[in-house]
Amino acid sequence: MDEVWKQFGSPVFWICTVVVGLLSALVMHYVLRGMDRWFDGWSSARKARREAKNERFRAELKLLSENADMVPLYVATENRLRTRAIMLSFACSVIFGFTFGSLTRGGPVLSTSAFAQFGVLMLCSLVFLWRGVVHFGNSIRHGEVLDSLFTKLSLERTGKKLVE
One domain for residues 82 and 159: yes
pLDDT score recorded for residue 162: 55
One domain for residues 157 and 98: yes
Structure confidence by residue, pLDDT tens digits, 7-46: 778 888 889 889 999 999 999 999 999 999 999 999 999 9
Task: Name the residue range of residue 80's domain.
Answer: 69-164
One domain for residues 57 and 73: no
Structure confidence by residue, pLDDT tens digits, 69-78: 888 887 888 7
One domain for residues 74 and 54: no
Ordered DSSP codes for the chain: -HHHHHHHHSHHHHHHHHHHHHHHHHHHHHHHHHHHHHHHHHHHHHHHHHHHHHHHHHHHHHHHHH-TTHHHHHHHHHHHHHHHHHHHHHHHHHHHHHHHHHHHHT-SS--HHHHHHHHHHHHHHHHHHHHHHHHHHHHHHHHHHHHHHHHHHHHHHHTPPPP-
Record the pTM: 0.51
Which domain-ending residue is among 66, 89, 113? 66
One domain for residues 75 and 61: no
One domain for residues 11 and 45: yes
